[in-house]
Amino acid sequence: MTRGSNDEVIVIGGGVIGLTTAVVLAESGRRVRVWTRDPVERTTSAVAGALWWPYHIEPVASARAWALRSLEVYEELAERPGTTGVRLVDGVLGETALDEVAGWASARLPGLRASTADEYAGTGVRARLPLVDMAAYLPWLRGRLLRAGGSVEERTVSDLAEADAPVVVNCTGLGARELVPDPAVRPVRGQLVVVENPGVDSWLVSTDPAGEMAYLFPQPGRLLLGGTAQDDVWSTEPDPAVAAAIVRRCSALRPEIAGARILEHRVGLRPVREAVRLERVSLPDGRVLVHHYGHGGAGVTVAWGCAEEAAALAAASR
């Protein structure tokens, strides 16, 4: 016998996927509680560079659909950047040909075009995309949830059975590896360096011939430099040698970065899986469990589209 009303939902996980799913559920009339191990500001999502673009996520077709739905939301939120932390910013995606993205993105990104030689030395596409300041966005998202009647509780969950609501949504990201358990979800380590912005006002993503990635994301009052994608590396401690290499690669793209004062080092573990797990499971006691994790490096990019599908699976229980 379950406690709580039929409208009650517990969302486990307070990152961008968990919070967005909770918002969608709460705004549809459900009574939502979020259980999060870490404060919202210290989740993996808080480390994200947070440029809207599907990255390190499967299946590609679903990810693109979720991303395009999320784009609609971010474009609306970008009308209030000071409140939401979402801005539309121009930049170049390097090592990408226009025909690689035109088939799925051009209809929604009318300004999408090949970059010029002045904008980028290699092959690239120029686009105006949402760039999200996670330091502002995550607290705003939490506030939106609270305004919709939801709640957030810091709580460590060691067994999904601890959540005794009629509907439980598992948005634990990498934590699902032990909690479910699901060994298919694994870490891809990302490290970035935060510096004072020397005047960079556009974003840039580049990959050198050796496969090393560099990106520059201007955020209010600072510039985020990245990055890395280290498979199956669990360390969350910044590596000084990696940080120096990041600054070196980014300075090669924009020389003015070389002397920028370093403000902070950040490390996050992307929850990568061979495919996002978005699945409804009926438990033996009649309750419903919705798995919603494994979004890799694209959690922010796909959050709203994916959350709506997760909420629809949860609604099937009513």
State the sign of the Cα–Cα–Cα–Cα dihedral 79, 64, 145, 5. positive
pLDDT of residue 5: 62
**For the whole model, what pTM was predicted?**
0.96
pLDDT tens series, the chain, 318 aa: 344 467 899 999 999 999 999 999 999 999 999 999 999 999 999 999 999 999 889 999 999 999 999 999 999 999 999 999 999 999 999 999 999 998 899 889 989 999 999 999 999 999 999 999 999 999 999 999 999 999 999 999 999 999 999 999 999 999 999 999 999 999 999 999 999 999 999 999 999 999 999 999 999 999 999 999 999 999 999 999 999 999 999 999 999 999 999 999 999 999 999 999 999 999 999 999 999 999 999 999 999 999 999 999 999 755
Does 270 belong to an annotated binding site?
Answer: yes
Tell me the three-class secondary structure of the chain, residue by residue: CCCCCCCEEEEECCCHHHHHHHHHHHHCCCEEEEEECCCHHHCHHHHCCCECCCCCCCCHHHHHHHHHHHHHHHHHHCCCHHHHCEEEEEEEEECCCHHHHHHHHCCCCCCCEECCCCCCCCCEEEEEEEEECHHHHHHHHHHHHHHCCCEEEECCCCCHHHCCCCEEEECCHHHHHHHCCCCCCEEEEEEEEEECCCCCCCEEEEECCCCCEEEEEEECCEEEEECCCEECCCCCCCCHHHHHHHHHHHHHHCHHHHHCCEEEEEEEEEEEEEEEEEEEEECCCCCEEEEEEEECCCHHHHHHHHHHHHHHHHHCCC
Query: How far apart (Å, rounded) are the C-alpha atoms in residues 75 and 246?
Result: 30
* Residue among 213, 157, 208, 188 nearest 269 (CA): 188
- For 106-137, b/e burial (b = at least 16 CB within 10 A) is beebeebebbeeebbeeebbbbbbbbbbbebb
pLDDT of residue 1: 33
Does 172 belong to an annotated binding site?
Answer: yes
Domains of the chain: 8-315 (3.40.50.720)
Does 123 belong to an annotated binding site?
Answer: no
Antiparallel, parallel or unpaired: β 31-36 and 186-195: unpaired
Does 202 belong to an annotated binding site?
Answer: no
Does 44 belong to an annotated binding site?
Answer: yes
Q: Which residues contact 205 (CB under 8 A, 6 or more apart)?
A: 51, 53, 91, 92, 93, 94, 213, 214, 215
Does 33 belong to an annotated binding site?
Answer: no
Does 296 belong to an annotated binding site?
Answer: yes
Does 299 belong to an annotated binding site?
Answer: yes
